[in-house]
Amino acid sequence: MNGGSVVSGVQGLQGVQGLQTLQGVQEMTAAVAFAGMKRVADVVFRAGCPDCRANVELGASALRLAIGATSKTTFYSFTCPECGVAVRKPAGERIVELLTGGGVRTLRLHSPG
């Protein structure tokens, strides 16, 4: 199939009765088809608190992501809903992808100079 085309999967079947009407249908990308849609369900992230050792579920609004110049200065943070402690954990590339894709607010850190 070519890039999300609804019609391309039946191109070899143009002679089959009932499929001729598809020839006039314009191709549409997934981005165009779903433009303007809002999320159906909120994304939930699971994290562990190193203080009370609780495994908690957090919505995107409960997390913050800070992206620094290096992997040592890139982290995510949240307040543990069980014990109230502020938690800060390192965020590798995969974690950054998941959090940004899930709508977590991101802060870009700049080094002075």
**What does R_g of the chain's alpha carbons equal in angstroms?**
23
Higher local confidence (pLDDT), 96 or 30: 96
* 105: amino acid identity, one letter: R
Task: Outline where DSSP puts E strands in the chain.
Answer: 44-48, 55-59, 63-67, 75-79, 86-90, 105-108
Out of 17-21, 43-47, 105-109, pick the least confident.
Answer: 17-21
Which residues fall within 8 angstroms of residue 62, CB to CB, at 6 or more apart?
78, 79, 81
Label residue 7 by pLDDT band (50, 70, 90): very low
pTM over 0.75: no
d(CA 70, CA 83): 30
